[in-house]
Amino acid sequence: MIPYGRQTITADDIAAVTAVLRSDFLTQGPAVEAFERKFAERVGARHAVAVNNATAALHLALRVAGVGPGDRVVTSPITFVASANAAAYVGATPDFADIDPVSHTLSPAALAAGWRADTRAVVSVDYAGQAADLPAIAAYARARGAVVIDDACHAVGGSFHSGGRPWSLGGNPWADLTTFSFHPVKTLTTGEGGMLVTDRDDWAALARTLRSHGIVRNTNNFTPASDGCPLLAERGPWFYEMQELGHNYRITDMQCALGLSQLGRLDACLRRRREIVAAYNAAFAGLPWLQTPALRDPADAATTSWHLYTVQIDFAALGKTRTEAMAALRDAGVGSQVLYIPVHLQPWYRRNYGYAQGKCPAAEAFYTRTLSLPLFPAMTDADVDRVVVAVRNLFSPS
């Protein structure tokens, strides 16, 4: 079976993790700082804060930006639930704007049409690895006092073009904070893990404090000894203070060693993903019942990271339901997946916020046609050919 996504682990990856296992630090050690430093350099940001998963990174992004009760956070409905759930975690109202029909990312026009006075943050989503229209989103949101958080969990290593030049996801002037995922099916993995990047020193410092229970050990940050608690007047090398109500969002040195190793060959992995996407696009171009993924800006063909290869299928014209098509692919040894059910239609969101079908018609139409096919760097040309044959064989004229 060829799965829709899978990690690629090499001997160098294993050696990097093994070296940590033989070291003095399994967690909160030098590999974490090294991974943060290299990742920040890679994306072009001042700060990178590594955490145990991307959901934690999204949660911390909203917390450091001061988003909370009484605020509204708008995101895309075509994403994993975490993009919206993070707003609920901080007591804000998660809301949704419809998607652009070409890139399937958050539509700036829909964002503007549904804007509410209490909107405090926008969480864009780089669906399948293609960047959202960050310049347009930021222009509208910032003019109204809202922060822009780019959910680049699908797009590690990706970039986009604006003003005739490429801009890195995580290193551009339009996102105030950017989050990344290192889940095994993503373009770089630490097993589980995530990263928050920002150019703001204060936000990065607060994120580092919050990821470890809100505790600080740097004596420069301690409250004065005359704070009214004589018992704590002696502040020796053991001393620490909990300054904020934080979380245990720490990542281990073992995970960061794997991330560092994978970061070293990220460009090669991205090239292979783009080769597979190009092969699929050429093979499926003539199928009248299948639409291949499109780019909002053709200049991004060489810079999009392509976490997913998502096609749209006219299942009525195909003569099969989606369930039947997935079963036929599975019988041919090809895995597939539906990514995603529109988040606003999930039961919890319908119950708690009254969202209903019809709120985001473009996203809902996309959902009825979407199917993601196998895409990962370890796929051989023979694997790609096998997927192509299986997909083309879905149609059997009567």
Catalytic residues: 186
DSSP 3-state assignment of 208? helix
What's 44's DSSP letter? T
DSSP 3-state assignment of 300? helix
SS3 readout for 57-107 = HHHHHHHHCCCCCCCEEEECCCCCCHHHHHHHHCCCEEEECCECCCCCCEC
What's 345's DSSP letter? G
CB 108 within 8 A of CB 101: no
Strand spans (E) along the chain: 47-51, 72-75, 93-96, 119-125, 147-151, 159-162, 165-168, 177-181, 194-198, 215-216, 241-242, 290-291, 309-313, 370-373
Edge to edge, the sheet with strand 290-291 lists 290-291, 309-313, 370-373
Pairing of strands 147-151, 119-125: parallel
Pairing of strands 165-168, 159-162: antiparallel
Task: State how far the alpha carbon of 188 is from the alpha carbons of 18, 30, 39, 66, 308, in Å.
Answer: 19, 20, 11, 30, 13
Distance CA 312, CA 308 (A): 13
CB environment 218-250: b (16+ within 10 A), e (fewer): eeeebeeeeeeeeeeeeeeeeeebebeebbebb
- Which phi and psi (to 5°) does residue 272 adopt? -65, -40
Distance CA 298, CA 307 (A): 17
